[in-house]
Amino acid sequence: MNFATVRRVPGSYDQYCPIARSLDVLGDRWTLLVLRELSLGSQRFTDLRRNLPGIPPNVLSQRLKRLVDDGIVAIEELPPPAARSVYRLTERGRDVQPVLRALVRFGTPELAPATAELAPRPATVAPVVFVSWFDEGEAARIDVDEHYDVVVDGRVQHLSSRRPAVRRRVEGDPAVIVEGPAWGFARLRQGATLDDLAAAGTLRVTGSKAARTRFRRLYALA
């Protein structure tokens, strides 16, 4: 993109710098949290309002319009019987996902220890606790194609051995299954090991020893 042709916005840093330009696009309050939600999948306006408690509806509308104008988010009309509009990340928008993963790793040490009363939403556990720590170098070294099921408060999420993503569709049985409450999974990034949580009965882990070893290495689990 030619910087000279970039649309100026109020509050722009107006610097020939990729970090400054990124902040021009992404730095408004709530914008990264909107993108956090859309990184989980397409959502309606009402879904976003529910999952972003505290955001005024007019602010959400403004942020979405700006993201659509900048080519980061697209509006998709679903066919009947759904017949509704949803927001989704574009290819350009998906470029923000590594930034979100880095923010997860940076911000996790700032959080209070998770408890049954203070826990992440189940839908965010796989992306936050696992995908954000996925080791792509280790994936290349291990070079296996298998999936792992994370069952958070009864909700199944599929992880890949190939790339940092939650898989929507899988075939065959999972190589490893980890089950438990959202707060228990969060503790994996707050000093507790998988063995600690399994021994305490907080998490239940099944799978062959070799598969469990691969799973730990891929997702940087102690």
Question: What are the DSSP calls for 168-217, one per residue?
Answer: S---S--SEEEEE-HHHHHGGGTT--HHHHHHTTSSEEEE-HHHHHHHHH
pTM for this prediction: 0.92
Helix or strand (DSSP H, E) at 31: helix 31-38
Q: Is the pLDDT score of 166 beyond 50? A: yes
- What's the confidence (pLDDT) of residue 8? 54
Helices 57-69 and 31-38: crossing angle in degrees, nearest 10, is 70
Over the stretch 57-116, which tens digit does the pLDDT of each residue have? 999 999 999 999 999 999 999 888 876 899 999 999 999 999 999 999 999 999 999 999
CATH class of 12-90: mainly alpha
Is 3.30.1050.10 the CATH number for 100-218? yes
In 56-175, which ranges are E strands?
73-77, 85-89, 147-152, 155-160, 166-167
Tokens 């509704």 -> residue:
84
d(CA 133, CA 108): 11
Over the stretch 126-136, which tens digit does the pLDDT of each residue have? 999 999 999 99
Q: Where are the domains of the chain?
A: 12-90, 100-218
Q: What is the mean pLDDT of residues 184-207?
A: 98
pLDDT band at 1 (very low <50, low <70, confident <90, very high): very low
DSSP state of 111: S
In angstroms, how far is CA 41 from the centroid of its own chain? Answer: 9
- What's the confidence (pLDDT) of residue 83? 67
Q: What is the mean pLDDT of residues 162-168?
A: 94
d(CA 128, CA 124): 6
- What's the confidence (pLDDT) of residue 119? 97
